[in-house]
Amino acid sequence: MTLNKRKEAIEAVQYFIMNREKNIRNRSMLIENTVGSDSVKNWSMTQLHILSLVKRHPCQLNNTSLATELNLSKSAITKAINTLIQHHLVVTAKKTDNLKEIYYEATDQGKQLATAHDKLHYQAEEKYYELFSHFNDEEIDVIIRFLNAWLRTSESK
């Protein structure tokens, strides 16, 4: 690869990151307009994914199952879920046959935010499918390899 190609690739990555950050800000504004500013803060993707899962599976998920489902540590789940509980988006529940385990259920406000997130998630997924339709399987393999290498690079810092 020539130096010019590397520079072009770096510029493309930088543009991608800046555009992604802009899209995240726009998504936050869209969620705010959908559910009202009272319920909006800078929600992390982890928090929004947890909220979505809890909405779909009320009183069926605990920290362990959420950690497994999202491939995150239990401490990351605990931190995220505590914020959701603090903002009255999720409540705790116990099953009558197991009073030790704590499960989660979305509040009405939490369900509204989860629905807005799910809608945006679906729209993004549709855009990705459309984008990937322009590449053959070998090119997609290169994209996957690049993204996985990028992830490993960012995790090692």
With beta carbons less than 8 A apart as the criterion, state whether 90 and 76 touch: no
- In 3D space, the residue among 126, 57, 48, 29 whose CA is nearest the CA of residue 89 turns out to be 48
Please state, as a whole number, how many other Cβ atoms lie within 10 Å of the Cβ of residue 118.
Answer: 16
Phi-psi region of 44 (alpha: psi -120 to 50; beta: other; left: phi over 0): beta
Angle between helix axes 74-86 and 45-56 (nearest 10 degrees) is 80
Tokens in use for 139?
A: 């090119």
Give the pLDDT band of residue 16 (cuts 50, 70, 90): confident
Give the pLDDT band of residue 142 (cuts 50, 70, 90): very high
Place of tokens 């997609």: 140
**For 42-96, what is each residue's pLDDT tens digit?**
788 899 999 999 999 999 999 999 999 999 999 999 999 999 999 999 999 988 8
DSSP classification of residue 67 = H
Tokens in use for 131?
A: 């984008």
With beta carbons less than 8 A apart as the criterion, state whether 131 and 71 touch: no
Rounded distance between C-alpha atoms, residue 31 and residue 117, angstroms: 7
Rounded distance between C-alpha atoms, residue 114 and residue 49, angstroms: 8
Its pTM stands at: 0.70
The backbone torsions φ and ψ at residue 72, rounded to the nearest 5 degrees and listed phi first, read -125, 165
DSSP classification of residue 40 = -
Compute the mean pLDDT over every residue in the chain, rounded to the nearest whole number.
86
